[in-house]
Structure 1
Amino acid sequence: MIKGEHFPNADRRAELLALAGKLRPELHRYCSRLMGSVIEGEDVVQDTLAKAFIALDGLSETPPLRAWLFRVAHNRALDLLRSKAVRVSEPIEAAQNVIDERNPDPLEALMRQEAVRTAVSRFAELPIPQRSVLILKDILDEPLADIALLLDLTVDSVKAHLARGRARLRDINGKASQFSEIKPPSAVVARYVALFNRRDWDGLRGLLADDVKLNQSTHPVRVGSADVGMFFSIYAKIDGVWLAPAWLEGREVIAVFENRLDAKPNYFMWLEWRGDEITFIRDYKYVRYVMADAELTFAPEALDIGGSGAS
């Protein structure tokens, strides 16, 4: 029967959907460092899941889904990196100073801790093979054999990339500035934040272009000022939300505090403009794991924008 023919795909899709929900934060930790950007990393995660659902129907056998998703994500990220002409790989040297994972020692732990503390953007300075291996081993704690299988390398090659990647990352961290440039907010973003913090929803709707789009990652994209205007109706029902202009990875974003007294923002959004009109809103409310690796900077005056008249 035709119905029966669809059951296996339906089962696989259900399994993939359940796994994707659990695996998204881990996929993002990998993709964001591979891309050198938490924003671009989430774009890769979204592309990965969309491609995976389409590709699943064409597979004659169900692969181990976790490893398969990572491979799809890895390949998608590499496609984007190649299109950006990121530096190519370097020659492999013999593996040295990589401790056997069966016998870890304190030095091994320190190297992993350094990778975890390193800013996402700095990973982009590593050649792609070193970057991939370092993230999988030191950030996600994957076994060497599994990394070799995912990246189609020998275990010895994985060890060599890991040794060189760790050495280079240590050098990058040693030369990197500890201070981010603090920039004032642009006039359009400052106006948006002030209107939001005054709960002037009609004023915010007046900023929307007719063809504006809203992307909330796990939700369908909203298109058009009327539909996107509902975005503000939802926020109008939530007490205490407070916005502040910020910068992330050289991009002007808006930090969202669910309570103004919170020490750190809960998530962020960013906008695209055409003159004084908003053409695109990307809201990360439903993928808050992105904040785990996001390093936002604020101008001193940014946290007070829209203070008067706010509820």
Structure 2
Amino acid sequence: MQLLTGEARAALLAEANALRPELHRYCARLMGSVIEGEDVVQDAFVRAAVALQDLREAPLLRPWLYRIAHNRALDLLRSREIRAAEPIEAALDVADRASADPAEMLMRQEAVKAAMSRFLELSIPQRSAVILKDVLDEPISEIAALLDLSVDAVKGHLARGRARLQQIGTKDDPVPNAGSASPAVTHYVALFNRRDWDGLRALLAEDVKLVQVTHPPRTGRAHVGAFFTIYARSGEVWLMPAWLEGREVIAVFENRADPKPSYIMWLEWRDGRISFIHDYRYARYVVAEAAMVLLQP
């Protein structure tokens, strides 16, 4: 049997792109961060593209992609020394019916509304089970296959995870960690909102890099400088400094009158110059559930 053709691989990756928002919902809660969740999604797609080159038949795309993202997230979590040390005990009886009872529905609603950081208080198996069942509405049998666990083990992790979320649900929601707008970001935002594209290009380091989802990276001052030409044609775009998950970011409004930003970008600096631009224009789902604090520059 021959390897998958280039056309078949491209078609699978195009189909996989439609799964990005739901995959991000899972990874963001697993990591406790919308930005780190997107990093995992990005890594998963890179690994999927490489793996497809060695496959002779198309995989079942959704569970295959989830498994890649799940394993990548576990690698990162273990690197933080967050361990899943919980023993697999006798499972509690967890409902898994198409028409769940009111208590079941209430637990699912609480999981959907829980802050990202709350999930970090669960063990990794509990976290995965609760997110997949209560946030993404996956059948328990499919969760068991994804996590390589028995159905009874998944039910046990789900019951304990739900109980833990209810226990900590009485706490006040954490206040987002926000500082003031830095002079560098304030200057960038002011130049952008004045449409001073030459001023923005002057801030770029010679080896600056730009990353956007689904687009090849741009590297170098000349190449990245052309990035602003795209925004020069978008007269309504307006920026504001913001803080997200303890990180200074830039909120992007496609219309100044919009109540919420459409997406974010964030910058890395070196010696007063921009060394990296992370632009989430094509990953707008990242801010859908983000607790962001907007700042006046």
CA contact (8 A) 2:96 2:140 kept: no
Match of 1:185 in 2: 181
Cα distance between partner residues in 1 of 2:197 and 2:7: 43
CA distance in 2, matches of 1:16, 1:150: 20
- How many residues get paired? 297
User: Any idea what SS the aligned residue of 1:297 has?
Assistant: strand
Q: Is the 8 A contact 2:211 2:217 kept in 1?
A: yes
Note if contact 1:208-1:225 (Cα within 8 Å) is conserved in structure 2. yes
Report how far residue 177 of structure 1 moved.
Answer: 3.5
Post-superposition offset of 1:5: 4.7
User: Structure 1 stretch 105-114 or stretch 17-26: which is displaced more?
Assistant: 17-26
Report the counterpart of residue 120 of structure 2 in structure 1.
Answer: 124
Compare 165-174 and 124-133 and name the one that shifted more.
165-174
Residue 140, structure 1, aligned to residue 123, structure 2:
no
Equivalences for residues 62-73 of structure 1 within 5 A: 62-73=58-69
The aligned residue for residue 16 of structure 1 is: 12
Find the residue that maps to 2:235 and give its secondary structure. coil
Q: For residues 76 and 250 of structure 1, what CA distance do their matches in structure 2 show? A: 23
Q: 1:258 aligns with which of 254, 258, 264?
A: 254
Q: Cα offset for 1:12?
A: 3.5
Identity %: 63
Question: Structure 1: any 5+ residue segments left out of the alignment?
Answer: 306-311
> How far did 1:11 drift?
4.9
The Cα RMSD (Å) is: 1.7
Distance 2:57 2:85 in 1: 33
Structure 1 Cα separation of the partners of residues 45 and 267 of structure 2: 24
**Offset at 1:178?**
4.7
Aligned letter for 1:269?
A: M
1:114 matched to which residue of 2?
Answer: 110
TM-score by length of 2: 0.94
Is 1:290 aligned to residue 273 of structure 2?
no
Higher mean C-alpha deviation, range 105-114 or range 173-182: 173-182
Alignment-derived partner of residue 50 in structure 1: 46
Q: Which runs of 5+ in 2 are unaligned?
A: none
Shift of 1:286: 0.7
* Structure 1 residues 58 and 170, CA gap change in structure 2 (3 angstroms): same
Q: What residue is the counterpart of 2:228 in the other structure?
A: 232
How many Å separate the matches in 2 of 1:40 and 1:183?
20
User: Of 25, 38, 47, which residue of structure 1 is paired with 2:21?
Assistant: 25
Q: Which has the higher helix share?
A: 1
Kindly provide the amino acid, as one letter, of the partner of residue 104 in structure 1: A
Letter paired with 2:16? A
Q: CA deviation at 1:265?
A: 0.2
Q: State which of 76, 80, 88 in structure 1 corresponds to 2:76.
A: 80
